[in-house]
Amino acid sequence: MTFEPKPPSLPPSLRVAVLGTGMMGLPMARRLCQAGHQVHAWNRTAAKAEPLAADGAQLHASAASATAAADITLSLLENGSVVNQVLFAQGAAAAMRPGNLFIDMASIQPREARAHAQQLASMGLACLDAPVSGGTVGAQAGTLAIMAGGEATDFARAAPVFATLGRATHVGPHGAGQLTKLANQMIVGITIGAVAEALLLAAKGGADIARVREAISGGFADSRILQLHGARMVQRDFTPGARMQVQLKDMRNALATAQELGFDAPITALFETLYASGIAHGLGTLDHSGLFMELAQRNAMV
């Protein structure tokens, strides 16, 4: 089942809490406000949530206060341990009314998503793990790819929220959304490396990499990575959308999950070492396409 994106103006109005208003959470919360939903926002650093007040959001001093005012809660927190802390140690879950729906849209490990779902169910709360792909551009435009794991009935309940944020697909039971996101991030991280290495090889041999990228566009090697991140590489503009540090986290989550499943992932393991090396060389805050610079440094092309 897939929900397609619709423009902001989708009834009915829902009371939605948004926990975490960083690079992704802020534009997503703004779209929910613009769609007419009642948004209750919380962020650990309160100043990051303040711009939402102009969009009509109600700001809260605690996560529990925000969830107590909502029927559906979205989480865009840093990682699984932070989600666990906010939900259970800081009381955000306990403040929800029975039957409320929690949707974790951050990228965490599948086993963490399953554990959270089990604990929430014991409290009478529903849960979806629904990480996204599309970056800040997709968050602003409402064109995110949303990969949801959980019960089909809960996925249907989330339709008005998902339709405002992007295209949602129900991919299986609890944890399956996070598995799908890991697969997505494996493909993204590995493809960035392939594009970077190929363009650098062409440059080393004397070709104009802007023209190389143009020449192979539309052919079998074309991809969104070639188009979007290839342009960043040509321009050497690595202003972060998704940072190298986040890509490394995703690769490590993929490897941890592969180990749990008894699955050998040698290509992902190789790229984990490359991203880790780039971060060790001071590239961690660059966009993940900044792997280009790590490979350039290895070939004395900086």
Q: Catalytic amino acids?
A: 181
Q: Where are the beta strands (DSSP E) in the chain?
A: 2-3, 15-19, 38-42, 58-59, 72-75, 101-104, 126-129, 132-133, 144-150, 166-172
Q: Yes or no: say if 58 and 39 are a contact pair by the CB < 8 Å rule.
A: yes
Q: Yes or no: say if 163 and 3 are a contact pair by the CB < 8 Å rule.
A: yes
Q: What's the full length of the chain, in residues?
A: 302
DSSP state of 67: H
Pairwise CA distance, residues 285 & 242, whole Å:
9
Q: String of b and e for 211-228 (b: at least 16 CB within 10 Å)?
A: ebbeebeeeeeebebbee
Half-sphere exposure of 191 (CA within 13 A, CB side): 16
Helix axes 291-298, 176-204, angle to 10 degrees: 40
